[in-house]
Structure 1
Amino acid sequence: MNRRLATAAGLALLVALAGCAGLAGSTGTGPDAASDGEPALDRSIEVTADGEATAEPDRATVHVAVTATGNDSAEVRDELSVADESVRAALTDWGLDEDDIRTDRYDVRESRESRENPERTTYRGIHRYEVTIDDVDAVGEVIDVAVTAGANEVQRIEFGLSEEREREVRATALENAMANADDDAAVLANSSGLAVTGVYRVSTTDGGVTPYRVAETAAVGDAGGGDAATGIETGDVTVRVNVNVLYGAEQA
């Protein structure tokens, strides 16, 4: 026999023997298979369920901006710089930390009008700030402070949760998700002539956090001519999670 053919035949035989050994030692595949020394399940029920929980916000993020236009880009940058000093000083004097005031957009460019009419060059600049506020009742007051100091746009307001509060609400959402999974498993077991014996394996993924958002048109009130702060409506924040649970089962 050709040496190359003999070698190939020998390898094929080894592969076939290895496959037989694997089949002899296998206990099955899929979610019911044994892993990490755990016993295999004869019967099981697998359920995927969602859970959510809501809570009042304890943190707010406000996006305010200073905009400027002019015939010279340096002039626009200077105007934004002056306003930047004024806005930051006003907000820190009010009581915010410097870390609570973050630039999330800065841009100076030719306006669309200039591109359409090259004989008239104008520039538009924007400096947008993301302002974090731990006292959600003070959002309207902070907006008034920023606007008085030079901000001329309020682009977005979001009410959310601090990290500690979000963990607490997520724990409740997980409890709700497990309760939903238990209910689903009980229905499936009853419909299949089975009885649930307990949880065999569980995993979870985050479904996300939905903050309460305020539309731009509802964000700015009439703060001039009076001492009352801009009124901002708040709403609950929702935390969602997902669980996948494998239950052991037996014949009922």
Structure 2
Amino acid sequence: MNTWIGRLVASVVVIGTAIYLLMRFGPGIPVSSVVTQKQEMFSVSGEGKVTAVPDTGIVSLGITINRPTVKAAQTEVNTKINSITNELKNSGIAPKDIKTENYSVYPEYDYLQGPGRITGYRVTTDIKVTVRQLEKLNEVIDKATAAGANTVSGIQLTVEENRQKELVQEAREEAVKEAKAKAESLASAAGITLGKIINIQENVPGAPVPLMMLDSAAKEGRGGGSATDIQPGSTDIYSTVTLFYETR
């Protein structure tokens, strides 16, 4: 019994001694550590602008007819709208670019003699026409008014959708180029060393703002015989980006 206890005590002493010697003189045990370094950030913005000539025209053509009966007014409006539509198609306007936007029927009242008395009916319709060959816009308006349109309004000059995307990309590239150049110049002047770009923000540009033309009366309304003359001018597309750099 005493022999067994003596052996156990001796074993504990040996193991304890071994652990002590290992900790005292053995290789260090690696300990994981996380070092947090505060990164300074530097940001700068740049703007890009691209100027383009509009290539698409949008116009609203209207017809208003007053007649004693609804049927008479509707019949005349429908006849004129069919005539206008045929002229548009003959000018190369695709059916998908001719859209009815309004069709309304209103009674006309006479209030001069007592309670309002219906004297007739007014029928109005408007069609929105997209002219994808802008050079034909003047011709389209002239032919439409000759065919019966008595109001011309909402003329917009803009850039075709796919072309818009290309122009926005060009403006974006110009904005990034300007921002990088500005960052390098400012950092050099301030004695800052730029690291990598860690974030980019863009003020998402919308479609180019259409050039709005003044509404005009149709030829029969202004008693004129002169041809329509609408000039396209130009439109600007913008993009603004902000670059965020690490600094060293």
The TM-score normalised by the length of structure 1 is 0.71
Q: Tell me if the contact between 1:63 and 1:157 (Cα under 8 Å) persists in the aligned partners.
A: yes
Using the alignment, how far apart are the partners of 2:169 and 2:96 within structure 1?
A: 29
User: Out of 136, 141, 146, which is 1:148 matched to?
Assistant: 146
Using the alignment, how far apart are the partners of 1:188 and 1:113 within structure 2?
A: 74
The offset of 1:110, in angstroms, is 3.5
Describe the shift of the 1:69–1:219 C-alpha distance in structure 2 as closer, same or farther (beyond 3 A): closer
Using the alignment, how far apart are the partners of 2:210 and 2:168 within structure 1?
A: 14
Structure 1 residues 160-210: Cα deviation after superposition (integer angstroms, max 9, x where no partner) = 111221122111110222233234434653565423234222133432211
Matches within 5 A, 1:49-68: 49-68=46-65
Using the alignment, how far apart are the partners of 1:231 and 1:80 within structure 2?
A: 27
Using the alignment, how far apart are the partners of 1:125 and 1:26 within structure 2?
A: 79
**For structure 1, which runs of at least 5 residues remain unmatched after alignment?**
1-23, 28-39
Using the alignment, how far apart are the partners of 2:240 and 2:115 within structure 1?
A: 55
Describe the shift of the 1:81–1:249 C-alpha distance in structure 2 as closer, same or farther (beyond 3 A): same
Q: Tell me if the contact between 1:157 and 1:214 (Cα under 8 Å) persists in the aligned partners.
A: yes
**For structure 2, which runs of at least 5 residues remain unmatched after alignment?**
1-32
Which residue does 1:80 correspond to in 2?
77
Which residue does 2:204 correspond to in 1?
206
**Given the alignment of the two structures, is residue 98 of structure 1 paired with residue 69 of structure 2, yes or no?**
no
**Given the alignment of the two structures, is residue 44 of structure 1 paired with residue 10 of structure 2, yes or no?**
no
Q: Which amino acid aligns with 1:214?
A: M
In the TM superposition, structure 1's runs of 4+ consecutive aligned residues that sit over 6 Å from their partners are: 24-27, 218-223
What secondary structure sits across from 1:53 in the alignment?
A: strand
Matches within 5 A, 1:117-196: 118-186=116-184, 188-190=186-188, 192-196=190-194
The offset of 1:145, in angstroms, is 0.8
The answer to which of 132-141 and 211-220 deviates more is 211-220
Structure 1 residues 104-141: Cα deviation after superposition (integer angstroms, max 9, x where no partner) = 22222245877x96124443332111111122111111
Q: Tell me if the contact between 1:45 and 1:188 (Cα under 8 Å) persists in the aligned partners.
A: no
Larger radius of gyration: 2
What secondary structure sits across from 2:193 in the alignment?
A: strand
Q: Tell me if the contact between 1:220 and 1:230 (Cα under 8 Å) persists in the aligned partners.
A: no
**Aligned residues: CA RMSD:** 3.3
Q: Which amino acid aligns with 1:83?
A: K
What secondary structure sits across from 2:228 in the alignment?
A: coil
User: Out of 39, 58, 66, which is 1:69 matched to?
Assistant: 66
**Given the alignment of the two structures, is residue 216 of structure 1 paired with residue 215 of structure 2, yes or no?**
yes
Describe the shift of the 1:72–1:131 C-alpha distance in structure 2 as closer, same or farther (beyond 3 A): same
The answer to which of 58-67 and 185-194 deviates more is 185-194
Using the alignment, how far apart are the partners of 2:128 and 2:246 within structure 1?
A: 50
Describe the shift of the 1:184–1:72 C-alpha distance in structure 2 as closer, same or farther (beyond 3 A): farther
Q: Which amino acid aligns with 1:212?
A: L
Which residue does 2:29 correspond to in 1?
none
Using the alignment, how far apart are the partners of 2:127 and 2:38 within structure 1?
A: 56
Using the alignment, how far apart are the partners of 1:194 and 1:158 within structure 2?
A: 49
Identity rate, percent: 27
